[in-house]
């Protein structure tokens, strides 16, 4: 595995592969890898000749009161895990390499960035879309792999790719969970031991919502209150949002029409966790 830190060196390296007709898969990340990241790397490897993973904690997507400085980092462990997963290139630019001067150009995916997580994290998705837009221009992959766990990010980037004609395919990989159902996340390390025990209640509540929907409940308000009750009863967390939305437009629905995405964000003392499920007609959907 090559570890590359500059845009120039990465472009030079990738031009060689492209000349040989190799296809390039790309996985953008902020590091502190877990099995969710690894499943994206494996999905990229399976469908492409060369896999590039970026590891960049993007300052642009953190609000002033968010965890940029203390976002978990472990480069040594990450590079070992990426190598083991068969990644060909780990691109880890410095903030200076990505943002050398003032940045006057941003990518804003308008109203899709404002609901759900966007409501409490103003500017977050503009930061995500801008850095991913830059990374796509740098890497020019054939395929970009994203995790369903960050469903709003998927929807926003899907629309950006469509609106701005980025020539690539998106591969959305199902959420990887701990054995007790908690969605894997770099931020799970912020949970206290007792919060960690409570956190699987989030996914249990989402699964209960799926059962309700598939048994014919069509009223989103009733489904939201059921999830709220289950999470509040099972955890010490507060709820930031619970919403039944259209999986593509992210618009909230009042009356359930399949497929529907049920998305939640909850706050524990030091960790903000998100999760979602998409309910389709078959019980076995992700």
Contact residues for ligand AMP, defined by CB under 6 A: 29-30, 36-37, 39-40, 146-147, 149-150, 173, 175-176, 183-186
Residue 9: count of CB within 10 angstroms of its CB: 13
Cβ closest to ligand AMP, residue 223 vs residue 262: 262
Whether the CB-CB separation of 107 and 133 falls below 8 Å is answered with yes
Residue 175 CB, nearest approach to ligand AMP (Å): 4
Cβ neighbours for 29, distance < 8 A, ≥ 6 positions apart: 37, 40, 53, 54, 55, 56
Cβ closest to ligand AMP, residue 93 vs residue 147: 147
Residue 241: strand pairing partners: 265
Residue 276 CB, nearest approach to ligand AMP (Å): 11
Among 163, 166, 169, residue whose Cα is nearest residue 109: 163
- Distance separating alpha carbons of residues 23 and 141, to the nearest angstrom: 8
The DSSP-derived string for 183-220 is BP-GGGGGS-HHHHHHTTHHHHHHHHHHHHHHTT--BH
Q: Clarify whether 37 is annotated catalytic.
A: yes
Residue 128 CB, nearest approach to ligand AMP (Å): 8
Q: Which one from 36, 37, 116, 154 is the annotated catalytic residue?
A: 37
Whether the CB-CB separation of 44 and 145 falls below 8 Å is answered with yes
Cβ closest to ligand AMP, residue 205 vs residue 212: 205
Dihedrals phi, psi of 26, to nearest 5 degrees: -135, 135
Among 238, 224, 244, 235, residue whose Cα is nearest residue 272: 238
Angstrom CA distances, 40 to 37, 54, 131, 161, 275, stand at 5, 12, 19, 19, 17
Structure tokens at 127: 């930061």
Q: Which residues are catalytic?
A: 37
């Amino acid at each position: 595995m090559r570890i590359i830190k500059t845009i120039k060196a990465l472009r030079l390296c990738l031009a060689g592969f492209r000349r040989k007709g190799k296809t390039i898969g790309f996985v953008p990340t902020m590091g502190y890898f877990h099995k969710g990241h690894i499943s994206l790397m494996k999905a990229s490897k399976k469908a492409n000749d060369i896999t590039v993973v970026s590891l960049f904690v993007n300052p642009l997507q953190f609000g002033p009161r968010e965890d940029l400085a203390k976002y978990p980092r472990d480069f040594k462990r990450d590079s070992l895990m990426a190598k083991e997963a068969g990644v060909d290139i780990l691109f880890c630019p410095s903030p200076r390499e990505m943002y050398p001067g003032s940045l006057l150009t941003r990518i804003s995916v308008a109203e899709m960035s404002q609901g759900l997580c966007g409501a409490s994290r103003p500017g977050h998705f503009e930061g995500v879309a801008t850095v991913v837009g830059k990374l796509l221009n740098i890497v020019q992959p054939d395929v970009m792999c994203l995790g369903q766990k960050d469903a709003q990010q998927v929807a926003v980037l899907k629309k950006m790719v469509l609106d701005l004609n980025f020539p690539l395919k998106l591969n959305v990989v199902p959420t990887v969970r701990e054995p007790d159902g908690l969605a894997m996340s770099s931020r799970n390390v912020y949970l206290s031991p007792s919060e960690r025990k409570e956190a699987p209640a989030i996914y249990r509540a989402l699964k209960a919502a799926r059962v309700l929907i598939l048994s014919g409940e069509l009223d989103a308000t009733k489904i939201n209150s059921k999830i709220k009750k289950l999470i509040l009863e099972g955890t010490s967390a507060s709820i930031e949002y619970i919403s039944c939305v259209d999986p593509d437009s992210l618009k909230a629905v009042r009356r359930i029409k399949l497929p529907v995405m049920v998305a939640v964000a909850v706050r524990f003392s030091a960790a903000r966790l998100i999760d979602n499920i998409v309910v389709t007609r078959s019980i076995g959907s992700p």
